[in-house]
Structure 1
Amino acid sequence: MGTLIYDSVEPPITIDDRTLSHLKVVILSKLRRGESFSVSWRHGDAPDAGRSTIWVNQSIPLRFIFDETEAPELNQAWLSALAQSANELGGIHLSPEEVGGGELTTPARA
């Protein structure tokens, strides 16, 4: 389970390493271009689990911490979908990765 340290928000945001690896690529790409955007996720699968949204901007410190020592192979289709959603009005909405029509991983739990 990876961790996203966002400014000084406590507790840190926990996200599985695979999802965090994909999210990192999209976030860094957007920030390199000087673009701000939001990232939203559900806290769990229960109907009343809640959700969170953060605003990502160059002026807000970010730190990506991974439990795994090796970076996973990235799913280009998922990266494209995340990057496209980052350009939309609602920003990135983390959802399970789909490979061949089936779910592979479950994203953030905060």
Structure 2
Amino acid sequence: MGSLYYGDSTPIQIDDRALAHLKVVVATKLRRNESFTLSWTHPEGQPEGRSTIWLHPSIPLRFVFDEPEAPNLSRRWIEALAHSANSSGGITLVGELLDTPEPS
């Protein structure tokens, strides 16, 4: 379980694999100096509900992974996260979308 540190807030616990995909999309948006929201459903072991934060390039952000090796990334999952990042609702952390072979 990785952690997303945003400003002075309590770390947000996110699965390492999901966090690796999220990092790609967030870094792309912030590199373009774009602000946006990030929403997620609370994981098991936390009170039920969901949270949203406003991400802005001027606020410190740090990704911390428990696993020492970076996972292979799913292009489809990154595309789905990027698509939501460009919507008025911002990024919604969705479950993994697996890359599937193209039909012949």
Please say which structure displays the higher CA radius of gyration: 2
CA distance in 1, matches of 2:16, 2:7: 20
CA distance in 2, matches of 1:41, 1:56: 13
Q: Following TM superposition, by how much is the alpha carbon of 1:44 offset from its aligned partner in structure 2, in angstroms? A: 3.7
CA distance in 2, matches of 1:71, 1:55: 26
Q: TM-score, normalised by structure 2?
A: 0.88
Aligned residues with identical type, % of pairs:
58
Query: Gapped runs of 5+ residues in structure 2?
Result: none
CA distance in 2, matches of 1:13, 1:24: 13
Q: Which runs of 4+ in 1 moved over 3 A?
A: none
Count of residues in Structure 1 that have an aligned counterpart in Structure 2: 98
Q: Which has the higher contact order (CA 8 A, sep 6+)?
A: 1
The equivalences for 1:24-43 within 5 A come to 24-43=23-42
What is aligned with 1:2?
Answer: 2
Structure 1 residues 63 and 100: alpha-carbon distance in aligned structure 2, compared to 1, 3 A threshold: closer
What is aligned with 2:12?
Answer: 13
Q: Following TM superposition, by how much is the alpha carbon of 1:16 offset from its aligned partner in structure 2, in angstroms? A: 0.6
CA distance in 2, matches of 1:38, 1:86: 8
Q: Following TM superposition, by how much is the alpha carbon of 1:95 offset from its aligned partner in structure 2, in angstroms? A: 1.5
Q: TM-score, normalised by structure 1?
A: 0.84
CA distance in 1, matches of 2:65, 2:84: 24
